[in-house]
């Protein structure tokens, strides 16, 4: 096998004089020594560059960062400072964004089953708009406004356009059989528009769709734009939100459009279709994924002759559940030997009490990998930290932003005492 394709690494990675990989001028080995492993190492300038690309491609206040991809206060503030709005999918995400100093007016609230408490928080705080997902949600919002919870909120209706994206079924959302949104084909979308226009509890400002996540084919986005344009143009509303979902390359051989290319496809399609509404999008993965790598320490190498070799690291499905959930592929390499041939095949596994705790089913590694080596997995900046868990009471890893030779801790490693923070055991 060949060496790692360096195009999978973040923008600001280099090989140091000692042969060790650096990120943003910071030695991976030094970061691992200071903060331990596993650790998420983010290239901060890469994050900023992708935010700027989105803003420059779509326009200010038209690029909305999907915080579900990766969120902490530092990330919320970074995206906002670079000119992006924030798309939050829960009351918790909204709370984190506001705790970072991001005004609620720069946030949009998503969710297929928003609670009364979440809606009250959003309305009272004054979010930019609420993306209404169901008729039941209309009832909740109208009751809150009638009860004096706050001003009548601007709302956008989430429409299910009947466009199937070429992606895993668990992250495909635009098809008719979906828990999300008002179905266009069966008439629910038109009924929702009528309901919103007759309501005293909402102010309808636009429509929205999202066809899925990690989509590589620009044609899928163009098809969604065409369907939504046919629906939106007669409504003559100010906002048309075409969601996110732009894919990224995780393994060798994958290719994905850049944010600028994605913008060109969407905006050209909307212009040719005669869309007059302001078009906005919600990128998340394409902002954060390639910005980070997860660095582990190899703890056990188990060779079963005639069967396979297992390489076990000190993390696993608790910091990256995507391989187990979706069969997602990742590359792996040794930061001390980035350009070495990876001619040893192994199953890369974590430390959890679960046979399914697999990070890579057929990982390619240098033949001299040994216990104690640092092992890195690139393109883990989205849906790693955000989907992490405490399975087996494993403490979640820290997050470190690296830029200009400075490694900045933005999320500390959890401690064993953190595992007891919500435990109300009284001793009886």
Residues known to be catalytic: 353
Residue with tokens 């592929």: 329
Contacts of 268 (CB under 8 A, 6+ apart): none
User: Residues in the chain, how many?
Assistant: 428
424 contacts: CB under 8 Å, gap ≥ 6: none
- Burial label for 24, CB within 10 Å (0-12, 13-18, 19+), is buried
Rounded Cα distance, 175 and 340, in Å? 44
Please list the residues that pair with 303 across neighbouring strands: 309
């Amino acid at each position: 096998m060949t060496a790692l394709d360096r195009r999978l690494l973040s923008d600001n990675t280099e090989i140091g004089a000692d042969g060790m990989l650096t990120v943003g001028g910071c030695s991976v080995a030094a970061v691992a020594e200071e903060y331990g492993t596993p650790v998420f190492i983010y290239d901060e300038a890469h994050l900023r560059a992708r935010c700027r690309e989105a803003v420059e491609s779509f326009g200010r206040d038209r690029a909305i960062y999907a915080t579900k991809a990766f969120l902490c206060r530092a990330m919320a503030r970074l995206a906002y400072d670079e000119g992006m709005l924030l798309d939050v999918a829960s009351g918790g995400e909204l709370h984190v964004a506001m705790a970072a100093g991001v005004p609620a007016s720069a946030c949009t609230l998503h969710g297929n089953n928003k609670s009364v408490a979440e809606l009250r928080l959003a309305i009272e705080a004054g979010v930019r708009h609420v993306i209404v997902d169901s008729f039941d949600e209309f009832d909740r919002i109208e009751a809150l406004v009638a009860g004096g919870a706050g001003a009548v909120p601007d709302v956008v209706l989430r429409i299910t356009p009947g466009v199937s994206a070429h992606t895993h079924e668990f992250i495909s959302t635009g098809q008719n059989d979906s828990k999300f949104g008002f179905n266009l084909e069966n008439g629910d979308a038109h009924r929702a528009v009528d309901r919103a226009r007759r309501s005293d509890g909402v102010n309808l400002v636009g429509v929205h769709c999202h066809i899925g996540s990690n989509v590589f084919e620009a044609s899928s986005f163009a098809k969604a734009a065409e369907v939504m344009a046919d629906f939106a143009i007669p409504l003559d509303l100010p906002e048309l939100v075409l969601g996110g979902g732009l894919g990224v390359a995780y393994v060798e051989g994958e290719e994905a459009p850049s944010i600028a290319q994605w913008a060109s496809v969407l905006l050209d399609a909307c212009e040719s279709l005669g869309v007059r509404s302001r078009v906005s999008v919600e990128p998340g993965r394409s902002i954060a994924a390639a910005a980070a790598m997860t660095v582990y320490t190899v703890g056990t190498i188990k060779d079963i002759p005639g069967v396979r070799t297992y390489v076990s690291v000190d993390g696993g499905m608790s910091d990256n559940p995507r391989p187990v959930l979706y069969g997602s592929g990742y590359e792996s390499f040794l930061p001390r030997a980035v350009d070495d041939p990876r001619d040893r095949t192994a199953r890369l596994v974590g430390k959890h009490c679960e046979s399914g705790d697999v990070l890579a089913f057929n990982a390619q590694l240098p033949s001299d990998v040994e216990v104690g080596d640092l092992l890195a997995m690139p393109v883990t900046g989205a849906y790693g930290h955000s989907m992490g868990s405490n399975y087996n009471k494993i403490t979640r890893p820290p997050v470190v932003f690296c830029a200009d030779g400075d490694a900045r801790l933005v999320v500390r490693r959890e401690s064993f005492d953190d595992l007891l923070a919500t435990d109300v055991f009284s001793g009886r």
